[in-house]
Every structure is written in structure tokens, then in C-alpha cells.
């Protein structure tokens, strides 16, 4: 199991100047579970509501890049595709090409150009 989410969580907690016990007492969280989460023994929560609760406890502002990063790290570590991506059927259809690229499989010139065009379209749509 990875620890990227746990490391991020711990870094944010320490950035608030809180010990594990202080943080958990203030937010009515179980210190054993949060310790396991930070060490990567427990996976990030699957629930968006639970992730939002943790983000709020860590004083991460909703709708910021940091908020999105928190959710993306949790979902990536858990092997889940973010809901915002799944909701976009056009984007989902491009995922196999992206996955192939990320795995280091060589794309030919035509495939690279296609990927670049698709990413430009998606960027322009935002």
C-alpha cells in the first residue's frame, strides 16, 4: 500500500503545528486510525464526505487547487479515477491512450499528435 496520501495528510497536520493527539482531540478523530492513515497502513477513505471532513480538519479550503490535489492523491492511491473525470464521457474515452502513455509504451507520431489535440480541446473547454 502506498503512503503518498498519508505523508500529505501528516505534512498538512504538522503545518498546523498540531501533534497527532492534539489534532485528533480537536476534531474528534481516533488517533490510532489517523496514525495508521498517515503511515499508509490504512488506505485513504473512499467516501467524498469523509475526505471533505478530513480536508476541513486540515484547513484546506474548498474549491482550491490544494483541495483538488488532496482528493486526487486519495483517489489515485486507492486506484480510483476522480469522479469529475468519470462524469466526462469524452475524457473517459481518452483514458486508455493516457494510461498507455503513462506506462511508458511508445506512441507513434500520429498517436502523440492525437493526444496533444485532445488535450488542447479539453484545456480550451475549461
Q: What is the pLDDT of residues 75-117, one digit of tens each?
A: 888 888 777 777 778 777 777 777 777 777 777 778 777 777 7
Q: Is 104 left (phi over 0), alpha (psi -120 to 50) or beta?
A: left
- Measured at the alpha carbon of residue 124, what is the angle toward residues 120 and 126, in degrees to the nearest 5? 125
Position 126 scores a pLDDT of 52
Flag whether pLDDT at 31 surpasses 70.
yes
Q: What is the pLDDT of residue 118?
A: 73
Q: How many angstroms separate the CA atoms of 91 and 40, rounded? A: 30
What's the confidence (pLDDT) of residue 26?
Answer: 98
**Which is higher by pLDDT, 6 or 3?**
6
Q: Is the pLDDT of residue 11 over 80?
A: yes
> For cell 490510532, what's the residue?
32
Per-domain residue ranges of the chain: 4-83, 88-125
Planar angle of CA 28, 29, 35, nearest 5 degrees: 150
| Superfamily the domain 4-83 falls into | lambda repressor-like DNA-binding domains (1.10.260.40)
Whether 70 contacts 51, CB under 8 Å: yes
Percentage of the chain with pLDDT > 90?
53
Amino acid at each position: 500500500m502506498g503512503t503518498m496520501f498519508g505523508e500529505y495528510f501528516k505534512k498538512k497536520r504538522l503545518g498546523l503545528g498540531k501533534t497527532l493527539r492534539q489534532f485528533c482531540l480537536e476534531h474528534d478523530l481516533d488517533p490510532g486510525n489517523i496514525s495508521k492513515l498517515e503511515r499508509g497502513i490504512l488506505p485513504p477513505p473512499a467516501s467524498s464526505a469523509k475526505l471533505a471532513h478530513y480536508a476541513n480538519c486540515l484547513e484546506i479550503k474548498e474549491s482550491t487547487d490544494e483541495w483538488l490535489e488532496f482528493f486526487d492523491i486519495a483517489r489515485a492511491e486507492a486506484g480510483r479515477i476522480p469522479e469529475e473525470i468519470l462524469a466526462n464521457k469524452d475524457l473517459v474515452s481518452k483514458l486508455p491512450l493516457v494510461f498507455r502513455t503513462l506506462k511508458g509504451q511508445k506512441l507513434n507520431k500520429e498517436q502523440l499528435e492525437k493526444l496533444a489535440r485532445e488535450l488542447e480541446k479539453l484545456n480550451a473547454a475549461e
